[in-house]
Every structure is written in structure tokens, then in C-alpha cells.
């Protein structure tokens, strides 16, 4: 891949979930994407990435634990109800966690590494023709989601990534130009 092709791939990634609902996302492809996430820079090589895949009934399970936590947190009933079915919107939802470090600084660096890895994963998914959509874990639901996923205690749920085979090419909104200052 030449630099222009890489730039095109980076620019073509979009947060989007217009997908073919009948076409499953192969688990071994998701495993490959997770492996690529782990090629991101990672200070002290702490390997903080945690992954769990929800497919089929797992998506409703994920929605239900999140909705229950939102209810406890005090979210309005309509938002709680929406959350129950929310993860059925794509054939697969990949949960990505960032393990706690042994100091607050290391925990922050782990989160940076995990976010960098997620971008690897999103770009690779885009190259395969998958639509991806990075959603946050709703407030109050972090620990129940981490427990459902079997993540290490203290893990921050960094992303709930909707995955499915894209059925359209989304438009690319303009970005402001980067400002490079001189020191
Ligand atoms: C840490 C993080 C959390 C995000 N959480 C959400 C979310 O909860 N809901 C959502 O609609 N988009 C979420 N996004 C996606 C952004 O909204 C999206 O990247 C942005 O709209 C730009 O669109 P693009 O990715 O197509 O360029 C999140 C992105 C990041 C990096």
C-alpha cells in the first residue's frame, strides 16, 4: 500500500451502521481485527486490551445488563427501553476494554494505547468492507459490562463497536485542517 492509498483508507473510515443484517461477521475475522489492535504503541508493553464479542442472543444480554444499570443510574424509561434493543442493530458488537494499570498514570497510558489500537481495528475493518460504529458505554454500566465480558476487575470499557457488512458508502464530512504550530 502506498502513502496515498493509506491516506484514502484513513479518510474512508466512517462511524456508520448501515449494514446487511442477514450476513454474519465471521468470528475469525473479528479475532484478526483484535490482533491488529494490539500492534498499537503500548508504553511498558502492558497489553491492556480486553475483547469480547456479542452476537445472536449475546447482543440482547448486553443490552439488558446495560439497560438495568441505566435504570439504577436514573436514566429516563424511554432511554432504558431503547438500550435493551440497541445492540441488535448490527450482527456483531465488539466490546473493547482497557485494563487498569498499577498507577493512575499507567492506567491513563493503557487507555491511550487501547484507543490507538481501536483505530487500527477500525481501519482494518474498513479495508475488509465492514461498517463500524464506536459507541461509548453508558454511564453507570461500565462494571456490569466488564463483568459480563469476563474482563479483569477495574477494566474501563473503552468502546462498544457495532460491526456489520456495509451496504453503502457514507459521505465524508469535511474536517478542519490540522494546525501545526512551531516551537
Ligand atoms: C471515545 C469515543 C466515544 C464515542 N462514543 C460515541 C457514542 O457514544 N455515540 C456515538 O454516536 N458516537 C460515538 N463516537 C463516534 C463519534 O461520534 C464519531 O467518530 C464522530 O461523529 C465523527 O464521525 P466519523 O467517525 O464518521 O468521522 C465515539 C468516538 C470516540 C472516539
* Model pLDDT, residue 1: 86
Tell which atom from ligand 1 comes closest to the C-alpha of 16.
26
Domain ranges (residues) in the chain: 24-165
User: CA 102, CA 92: separation in Å to the nearest integer?
Assistant: 32
Model-wide pTM > 0.85: yes
What is 24-165's CATH superfamily?
NADH Oxidase (3.40.109.10)
| Residue with CA nearest ligand 1 atom 13 | 135
pLDDT at 138: 96
Express each pLDDT in 46-98 by its tens digit: 999 999 999 999 999 999 999 999 999 999 999 999 999 999 999 999 999 99
Show the low-confidence residues of the chain (pLDDT under 50): none
CB atoms within 10 A of CB 153: 9
Tell me what pLDDT residue 165 has: 98
Q: What is the 183 CA–ligand 1 centroid distance (Å)? A: 31
CA of 52 to the centre of ligand 1 (A): 20
- Residue 33: per-residue pLDDT: 98
Q: Judge if the beta carbon of residue 135 lies within 6 A of ligand 1.
A: yes
3 state DSSP class of 22: coil
Q: What is the pLDDT of residue 172?
A: 87
14 Cα–ligand 1 center, Å: 9
Q: Ligand 1: which of 136, 145, 156, 158 to mutate, most ligand atoms within 8 Å of CB?
A: 136
The span from the CA of 95 to the CA of 145, in Å, is: 9
Amino acid at each position: 500500500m502506498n502513502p496515498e492509498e493509506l491516506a484514502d483508507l484513513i479518510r474512508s473510515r466512517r462511524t456508520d451502521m448501515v449494514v446487511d443484517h442477514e450476513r454474519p461477521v465471521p468470528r475469525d475475522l473479528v479475532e484478526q481485527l483484535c490482533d491488529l489492535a494490539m500492534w498499537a504503541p503500548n508504553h511498558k508493553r502492558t497489553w491492556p486490551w480486553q475483547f469480547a464479542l456479542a452476537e445472536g442472543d449475546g447482543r440482547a444480554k448486553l443490552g439488558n445488563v446495560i439497560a438495568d444499570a441505566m435504570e439504577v443510574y436514573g436514566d429516563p424509561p424511554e432511554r432504558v427501553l431503547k438500550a435493551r434493543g440497541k445492540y441488535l442493530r448490527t450482527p456483531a458488537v465488539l466490546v473493547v476494554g482497557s485494563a487498569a494499570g498499577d498507577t493512575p498514570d499507567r492506567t491513563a497510558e493503557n487507555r491511550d494505547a487501547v484507543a490507538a489500537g481501536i483505530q487500527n481495528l477500525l481501519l482494518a475493518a474498513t479495508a475488509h468492507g465492514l461498517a463500524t460504529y464506536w459507541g461509548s458505554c453508558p454511564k453507570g454500566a461500565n462494571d456490569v459490562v466488564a463483568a459480563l465480558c469476563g474482563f479483569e476487575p477495574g477494566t474501563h470499557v473503552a468502546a462498544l463497536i457495532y460491526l456489520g457488512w456495509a451496504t453503502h458508502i457514507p459521505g465524508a464530512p469535511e474536517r478542519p485542517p490540522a494546525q501545526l504550530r512551531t516551537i
